[in-house]
Structure 1
Amino acid sequence: MNGLSVSELCCLFCCPPCPSRIAAKIAFLPPEPTYALLPDLEAGPVLAGPTGTSSLRSRGGGVEGRWKLHLTERAEFQYCQRDLDATEVFLTRSSRGNRVGCMYIRCAPSARFTVLFSHGNAVDLGQMSSFYIGLGTRINCNIFSYDYSGYGVSTGKPSEKNLYADIDAAWQALRSRYGISPENIILYGQSIGTVPTVDLASRYECAAVILHSPLTSGMRVAFPDTKKTYCFDAFPNIEKVSKITSPVLIIHGTEDEVIDFSHGLALYERCPKAVEPLWVEGAGHNDIELYSQYLERLRRFIGQELAAQHA
């Protein structure tokens, strides 16, 4: 029956887990913060918020003021101070009341496209900052990213509902703060980041969508033989991807040990707007970026295919 054993079905239907519990168990591994936001004194006074803190490494405080990024050694930043200075950080607020840490990197100031990047489950903005600079420089795009609730300086607890509220807040901030229109925004989700990416893309049209090592749903990760989407399933990408009206590039490693390659293939087959995918032979869950075809496919997709559509 849908690939589940009798004992598993009895467990699910007699004591069905709520989606938030499925999500918490399989998806969220927030690291110890690898960065802090320090007051930008040159830009004027910062309102410290109710905790009275003058920095935001802790998760209290408000969203007002101007901030500078301070990275800890754990962030393993690979670039120079000039690159760090070109990185703008700020705070916004989600519809669920959580503070959301945001980062905007002008990798290519004259670039047409900005990538709204939703990262994986065990990293934060500090750890991703070097990758963002390198990626944006190589694909000629600016990069905008954010931390999920409970990650980095973002408040609240990680949950499926908060994921959707967090990316909504990031989308609105990117559009209102920088005046970037949807036709110039590429939504990029990696691993768990494909969940908010697919949800947002199913509701808003944008330049394109990139799904990197995506999952079909939480139940299908926990029980690989699951064929049906249950009412208590978490992260139902497989039910939303058909609603996306923008071009979708799916990238997956054939030897992914965390989210099986079959997830990427299933989403590709379900998505009417899918373009030629990138199946990286021999790649796992966390090393696709090390293969030359990764950047080659991104450059062709963004620099040629999208550019031709928007010419």
Structure 2
Amino acid sequence: MGGVTSSMAAKLAFFPPQPPTYELEEEAESGLVTMTRFPHRENVEIMRLTTRRNHQIVAVYVRHPMAVSTVLYSHGNAADLGQLYDLFLQLSFHLRVNLLGYDYSGYGQSAGKPSENNTYADIEAAYKCLIEKFGAKEEEIILYGQSVGSGPTVDLASRLPNLRAVVLHSPILSGLRVMYPVKRTYWFDIYKNIDKIPHVNCPVLIIHGTADDVVDCSHGKQLWELCREKYEPLWIKGGKHCDLELYPEYIKHLKKFVTTVEKPRSERPIWRIADRVEPSRRSTDCMEPPRRSTDRKLKLRNKEPPKTEHRYSSVDGFDKIKFSLDHFEKSRRSVDCLERPRKNMDQIERGRKSVDRLDRIWAG
């Protein structure tokens, strides 16, 4: 049953760009691996990693000479490394960090098929590479998860007690909650961030656009409420699901966050530390009976929940929501950018233009 459910969820949640936006080339003599369309850089290394599920996935490592932190970046649904390469270079440069990004199984030139369990194995392989190949330490690593990438990011962060920090960019409460405002966690749901986020012990920054029509901003706000060690969130007014990097406050807030978490704990501002909650069950254990979700506990604690302007806000009560045909049509789209990427190269060109615009914004 669990395998069937995972297969169905994968069809709904994952839409890798087809065809992939890059290819790999390897020099016979030196073994140097490069990505087509991008010239080789001395501070960039392209590599293949083997996961515990025996899939070969592709990763990009960008080195910064003054870095004291390393970012492990888990991208969104309808993207691959070819679209994110320039963004990785910009983030490494402006944040002064080393950065490793990777393609999930079935994305880009990574082998295998996309699934929840495969993404967990993928991020573990990337993390292991940082530790064993590049000498990073757990307490120096910042996990960054965008949209669907918040799933493997929160899962790994909940199992690593000494991480430097976590960034969640347009995150989801869970896969099912993107489509329907359910009040409890069901065994067939995927990426149950709502149940795992209270077990993340490091500072968490959440970034979300207030005009996100794919993953409502209320997802980010509720996850922030459930964080144990909260950092000042960034709610980008008018920001949508795939354009937050184009807002000047995005990079400014990220810089401030990275600078803060790199300081000794004694020099950091005092953040609110939430009470511990009962241990969360594993997302992959589909045979356990469903239990009440953590969002129910939050509602019981706060007798007078604050009012919000967001459509699906759990603190307003899901029972008051009226569904329209448009909403159900939206729910059929994927967990991330949802619409299957076009097979022509228009999307790639738009991505490159966005990065060029991002350069101009950050340089100003």
Shorter-chain TM-score above 0.5:
yes
How far 1:310 moved relative to its partner? 8.3
CA positional deviation for 1:29: 3.2
- The equivalent residue for 2:69 is 113
Q: Distance in 2 between matches of 1:118 and 1:68?
A: 21
Aligned to 1:38: 25
| Contact 1:31–1:124 (Cα < 8 Å) also in 2 | no
How many angstroms apart in 2 are the aligned matches of 1:33 and 1:67? 21
Say if 1:301 and 1:268 are closer, same or farther in 2 by CA, change over 3 A.
same
Q: In the alignment, is residue 221 of structure 1 matched against residue 178 of structure 2?
A: yes
- Separation of aligned partners in 2, 1:310 and 1:87: 34
Select the residue among 182, 186, 199 that pairs with 1:243.
Answer: 199
Counterpart of 2:58, as a letter, is G
Residue 90 (str. 1) matches residue 55 (str. 2)? no
1:167 aligns with 2:132: no
- 1:277 corresponds to: 233
Q: What residue number does 1:151 align with? A: 107
How far off is 1:30 after superposition? Answer: 3.6
Unaligned runs of 5+ in 1: 1-16, 44-65
Determine the C-alpha separation between the residues in 1 that align with 2:184 and 2:224: 17
Q: Distance in 2 between matches of 1:268 and 1:20?
A: 30
Q: C-alpha deviations, 1:141-173, integer Å up to 9, x for none?
A: 111011100011110000001000000011001
Q: Which residue of 1 aligns with 2:8?
A: 21
Structure 2 residue identity aligned to 1:116: L
Give the Cα separation in 2 of the matches to 1:93 and 1:286.
29
Alignment partner of 2:34 out of 53, 58, 69: 69
CA distance in 1, matches of 2:131, 2:192: 26
Q: How much has 1:19 moved relative to structure 2? A: 4.0
CA distance in structure 2 between the aligned counterparts of 1:71 and 1:260, rounded to whole angstroms: 36
- What is the aligned partner in structure 2 of residue 49 from structure 1? none
Gaps of 5+ in 2: 268-364
| Distance in 2 (alpha carbons) for counterparts of 1:69 and 1:138 | 23
1:292 paired with 2:279, answer: no
Deviations 1:73-118 (A, max 9, x none): xxxx6xxx46x34310111111111111111011x22210111000
Q: Which has the higher contact order (CA 8 A, sep 6+)?
A: 2
Determine if contact 2:5/2:188 at 8 Å carries over to the other structure.
yes
Count of aligned residue pairs for this structure pair: 263
Aligned to 2:61: 104
Amino acid at match of 1:35: Y
Identity %: 44
> Do 1:35 and 1:152's aligned partners in 2 also have CA atoms closer than 8 Å?
yes
User: Residue 213 of structure 2 aligns with which residue?
Assistant: 257
Spell out, residue by residue over 1:49-72, the C-alpha distance to the aligned partner (whole angstroms, 9 max, x if none): xxxxxxxxxxxxxxxxx3321324
Q: What is the match of residue 208 of structure 1?
A: 165
Contact 2:71 2:98 in 1 (8 A): yes
The answer to whether residue 79 in structure 2 is matched with residue 123 in structure 1 is yes
Please, what TM-score do these two structures have when normalized by structure 2?
A: 0.69
SS in 1 for 2:263: helix
Stretch moving more, 265-274 or 248-257: 265-274
Report if aligned partners of 2:77, 2:147 keep a CA contact under 8 Å in 1. Answer: yes
Backbone CA RMSD of aligned residues: 1.7
Q: Using the alignment, how far apart are the partners of 1:241 and 1:68 within structure 2?
A: 37
1:272 Cα deviation after fit: 1.1
By how many angstroms is 1:35 displaced?
1.9
| Structure 1 position 302 matched with structure 2 position 255 | no
Which of 169, 181, 190 matches 1:234?
Answer: 190
